[in-house]
Amino acid sequence: MILSSKTLRFSRLDKLDDVLEAQKHNGIEFGKYFFASCWTQQPEESIPQWRMYGNKMRGVRIELPKYPFRKIAIEPKQHRPWLETFEQSIIGPLSIDECDNETYFIQPNFFGDFFDGPVEYVPDVKTRYSNAIKLEDNTIIKEPNKLPRLKSEHWSFQSEYRFHLWVLPKPNDQSDKHQNLGIQMINGFKNNIDPGIDFIDVPLDSCVFNNLVIRTGPLCTPGGRTCIEALIAKYAPNAEIENSHFENSIRK
């Protein structure tokens, strides 16, 4: 589906396998406002990763460029009053129209490390979450770029790297949207209004599949290999296919 749709799916934190990412802290259910696409920067294969996420070791591992998305410019005050705080163009994977949806708005924080970075593994993740979410002086989240990249040290074997989006829910009544919509969205965040979606599909750059590398799982079947080759021939003829380094070393 990545090949045919040319998108990567960003899933809500409260839909991921780490239950702690869906906790409520200081009254805020922050897990439903952050969406992540999860990767690793480790070149070596991981048997636990294959076992957990590789379809019983019959699936694939895909390798893409570090930044595989489009580069679209969002200009300051681009038909949106809440962009007034931005003084220069923002280059990111989504246009302003793609950020602005019926029930939610994606914060265009695509600069610096606000969009991607390595996960930080800590011994007491609950305390870090609580310290990051405050309701004092109109501050809701300290360092929102770091919050979706915190995990318990028990997950450190993943060496995870994430792209993430921060989504603010829109109020049901948007009659005063030209003046107060930004404030209303923040209030929706405080009041735990659901953004109404479980995932966001972000388009990839049109040339990204020219550098695609697909590694088959250690227990990939001949039929599975045939399916992979057929998909590559149709959608990414320049992609490479590699065999797992663990092939023939793990008993079925």
3-state secondary structure string, the chain? CHHHHCEEEEEEHHHCCCHHHHCCECCECHHHCEEEEEEECCCCCCHHHHHHHCCCCCCEEEECCCCCECCEEECCCCCCHHHCCCCCCEEECCCHHHHECCCEEECCCCCCCCCEEECEEECCHHHHHHHHEEEECCEEECCCCCHHHEEEHHHHHHCEEEEEEEEEECCCCCCCHHHHHHHHHHHHHHCCCCCCCCEEEEEECCCHHHHCEEEECCCCCHHHHHHHHHHHHHHCCCCEEECCCCCCCCCC
Among residues of the chain, what percentage have pLDDT more than 70?
88
Which pLDDT belongs to residue 143? Answer: 75
Beta bridge partners of residue 141, listed in sequence order:
133
Which pLDDT belongs to residue 173? Answer: 62
Which pLDDT belongs to residue 82? Answer: 54
Q: In this predicted model, what pLDDT tens digit does every residue of 59-118 receive, in sequence order?
A: 999 999 999 999 998 876 655 655 555 667 788 999 988 998 888 889 888 877 889 999
Which pLDDT belongs to residue 78? Answer: 58
Which pLDDT belongs to residue 154? Answer: 93
Which pLDDT belongs to residue 102? Answer: 85
Which pLDDT belongs to residue 24? Answer: 81
Q: How far apart are the C-alpha atoms of 204 and 127, rounded to whole Å?
A: 36
Average pLDDT, the chain: 87
Q: In this predicted model, what pLDDT tens digit does every residue of 200-228 receive, in sequence order?
A: 999 999 999 999 999 999 999 999 999 99
8 A C-beta contact, residue 2 and residue 230: no
Q: Is the pLDDT of residue 242 over 80?
A: yes
Q: Residue range 9-22: average pLDDT?
A: 91
Higher pLDDT, residue 252 or 69: 69
Among residues of the chain, what percentage have pLDDT more than 90?
56
Which pLDDT belongs to residue 147? Answer: 87
Domain ranges for the chain: 2-47+69-205
Which pLDDT belongs to residue 220? Answer: 96
Q: Is the pLDDT of residue 46 over 90?
A: yes
Which pLDDT belongs to residue 192? Answer: 84
State the CB neighbour count (10 A cutoff) for residue 15: 14
Which range is least confidently modeled, 81-85, 147-151, 207-211, 248-252? 81-85
Which pLDDT belongs to residue 67? Answer: 93
The pTM (predicted TM-score) of the whole model is: 0.89
